[in-house]
Amino acid sequence: MTKINEDTVVVFRANADWRHFSPEKWYDTFGYYLIGESGDKYVIQCVEYDWLDDDDLVVVERVLANVDGIILDEACELVTKARELRQVADDVNALCEAAVMAYHLGDLETCKAALIEARRRELMYGDDEASHYLAGQLLEIVDEVDKDAASD
């Protein structure tokens, strides 16, 4: 239990649903795009998450072969940004996994710290959808009076 103020505390939600966004889902829902010289918009998902397992040269070649109208410089820029976002997605996922592990171990402070760091990283790139969702699944805010009444 962590006090928020005199009357309110944060506790683990009983029997929480601890499923959370995969890094692929986080990446797939990200809203970045590049505007090319032609004026066309190239969304980050032009670079598939799994393609980033390969080195940049292979990925750039795939983008050039699969995305109509994109030129080499644009493909390189898109791949660089995609690799950065995949790293964020993987980092957020690892932090969510740490929060879930802490939930199972009953370690509220570690759970909260992992969720806070996941949120911080997400907010650097937009919304905090994954960490916000998981925090809502694992934690709840209760009035200390209600908690005391429930334990009587």
**Contact partners, residue 99, CB within 8 Å, separation at least 6:** 110, 111, 112, 114, 115, 118, 134, 135, 138
- Give the total number of structural domains in the chain: 1
Nearest in space to 49 (alpha carbons), one of 72, 29, 28, 20 = 28
Asked whether residue 149 carries a pLDDT value surpassing 50, the answer given is no
pTM for this entry: 0.83
DSSP state of 111: H
What integer pLDDT is reported at residue 117 of this predicted model? 97
Full domain range(s) for residue 11? 2-150
pLDDT in tens, 62-93: 999 999 999 999 999 999 999 999 999 999 99
pLDDT tier for residue 142 given thresholds of 50, 70 and 90: confident
Nearest in space to 135 (alpha carbons), one of 90, 98, 86, 87 = 98
